[in-house]
Amino acid sequence: MITSKASQWTTFQTPACQVDFTDSKLQGRMNQLWNTNLSGFTRQGITGNPWTATNSSDQTWYFDPTTTDTSEGGYAQIIWSPVPGRIKYYFPNISNANMWSLADTGYDTTGATFGQIPADPCDSSDTSKIPYGPYGPRGWQDEYCEWSITRNAAGKIVRIDFTCENPEYWNTLWMVSPQRVVELYRETLDKPQIALEDLYLRDPTGNVVIDASTGRPAYDPLNKWNRGTASSATAGGAMHLTSTPNTLQTEIGLGSTATTPRTSGNSNPNTLICCAQYGQIGRNSDPHIGQSVNQTVTPPNPALSPAKATLANPPGLYIQTPNFGRITAPGGVDPRTFWTVKRGQQSLTDPAGNPLPGNFILHAVFAVPPELGFTISDLQVDGVPVQWAAQIAQTFSMQIAAMALPQPKPGPAAQGCAGSPAVSQAQALQLFNTPVFNAMIATPIANPVGQPMNLASNSTMIAPHIEPGARARRLTLVLTGLLNPPQLPTTLSFGPGVSVDAAGAPRAVTYAIPGNTYPSTSYALDVFVSVDPDAAPGLRDVLVGNPGQTPTIATPALLNVVDPVTKDMV
């Protein structure tokens, strides 16, 4: 439902309009990089996948809010529960206690982990099973909200950190200033013992990996202070999202894909999600978000006008204020006093002063002040004693703020369901600085179900930086849609002023491409990239083509030609 008129920012704002630098130069650099990254993600979403899928491209009913006149637009709120919905979806007879325990720890009250689930829940004829995912130290928390739990020596919960901050923001922040990142870790988690070196990406032998984009140590998104759901004085915490589907670039992709009307209709969210092939059925978030967006473009009431849709600026996923009336504390203490917003804002207005719907909380802490003499484990939610952080999580909602831009009738024609084309085209998926890729792909990540996973699944789609005049920079391009057996592409282009040469043959690699729930096999191709001194700056698209095929569409925004990062950006 549209709640208020919109007014336009001309650049993408940081989530919740967060300002993390007092130095205006550093904040300006952060704002610039963030706008560049979000512009690239938006182009990727609108382009879709014309290479290896049908009915999944040219999604122009999703729009860029920074380049579109939004004066006739309006805001809408889409909300869902942060408690992983797929647990109850696949295990409907599970008790609440076991569901809460699984949501918190990846194990039920008996110490058993998740069971097997259908490999393809959209195909009832497929009886094969796979381990429940997403994988990772808290991968099952896949509703764009993750949490870590601090318990005392008696096992009682004394603190819960809830975060919905996207990993792309923290990777961008690290590119501007690792020192500011470690300061924010200390301030947000209240752990002054966190060292900068704790956040460095290391290869399997323990050596620090240097990111050629900055010339400094690369960031480890699953460092020991942002890993798992148990937090202590020596490890653990939840600074930003780590479940592989929980990325902002993916949310933009979901929103853009959901703008395509489908012949399946949009009355059933799971039918729609299977037809369009975005996200996972059973989640509280993706099916509901996709259906809401699709019904904006193709209203169920034919008397209503269609509308283009986008994530409202500032794009992000946000925690809402809990329903404190569901929480009971000893002595009638008001539970509102246990809730502290560490990052984000209660409310936002656009440049014209119009209110955006809902709250814009990025990180919140729920903790009982020690002087009260009791803990979170002495509270009740809905009359049930609290044993699990998930019980507190179920008292609040998650949100995206959407924007709808009314359009004249008729709306776009419905397309059939997404599928596989008769002949796939080569597709560039992701680009890395090679040392970063090699370290990530070689770093195994433990998870409750014991499935093979590596750190590359927690990479992001942020384009590597390269300077004009750079010579023979070694990068790794991840591809799909290659001929079988895999052959070198005969077309490989980053556009004018950039030359590229293959440094070897494609090799199979398995990881979850950012935003995907499960790992898949793609091909990694090492390349040497050189940039002319006078090459135009900005994001570069990557055009690849198999032998005998003529590619026409490039993958947007995989490389960023930039001026050298100045030395004070530390």
- DSSP calls for 287-356: HHHHHHHHHHHS-SSTTSPPEEEEEPSSP--EEPPP-GGGEE-GGG--GGGGEEEEEEES--B-TTSPBP
Task: Please give the pLDDT value at position 568.
Answer: 40
Task: Please give the pLDDT value at position 165.
Answer: 98
Residues 302, 361 share a domain:
no
Taking residues 479-489, what's their average pLDDT?
95
The 10s digit of each residue's pLDDT in 262-311 is 999 999 999 999 999 999 999 999 999 999 999 999 998 888 899 999 99
| pLDDT level of residue 7 (50, 70, 90 thresholds) | low
CB of 242 within 8 A of CB of 226?
Answer: yes
Contacts of 448 (CB under 8 A, 6+ apart): 105, 106, 107, 113, 114, 140
CB of 113 within 8 A of CB of 449?
Answer: yes
Residues 287, 140 share a domain:
no
Angle (CA) 509 514 520, round 5°: 35
Q: Is 80 exceeded by the pLDDT of residue 236?
A: yes
Residue 566 located in a structural domain: no
The 10s digit of each residue's pLDDT in 431-471 is 999 999 999 999 999 999 999 999 999 999 999 999 999 99
Count of domains observed in the chain:
3
CATH assignment at residue 520:
2.60.40.10
CB of 403 within 8 A of CB of 310?
Answer: yes
Residue 413 located in a structural domain: no
Residue 373 located in a structural domain: yes
Which structural domain, as residue segments, surrounds residue 166?
93-243+320-390
Residue 454 located in a structural domain: yes
Helix (H) or strand (E) run with residue 175 in it = helix 167-176
Residue 421 located in a structural domain: no
β-strands 398-406, 491-493 pairing: unpaired
The 10s digit of each residue's pLDDT in 535-546 is 999 999 999 999
Side-chain-side CA neighbours of 471 within 13 Å: the count stands at: 0
In a 3-state reduction of DSSP, which class is residue 45? Answer: helix
In a 3-state reduction of DSSP, which class is residue 251? Answer: helix
The 10s digit of each residue's pLDDT in 347-362 is 999 999 999 999 999 9
Alpha-carbon gap, residue 119 to 116, rounded angstroms = 9
Per the prediction, the chain carries an average pLDDT of 95
Residues 212, 76 share a domain:
no
Task: Please give the pLDDT value at position 564.
Answer: 72
Residues 340, 202 share a domain:
yes
Q: What's the pTM value of the predicted model, to 2 decimals? A: 0.96
Residues 256, 238 share a domain:
no
Task: Please give the pLDDT value at position 303.
Answer: 87
Residues 103, 231 share a domain:
yes
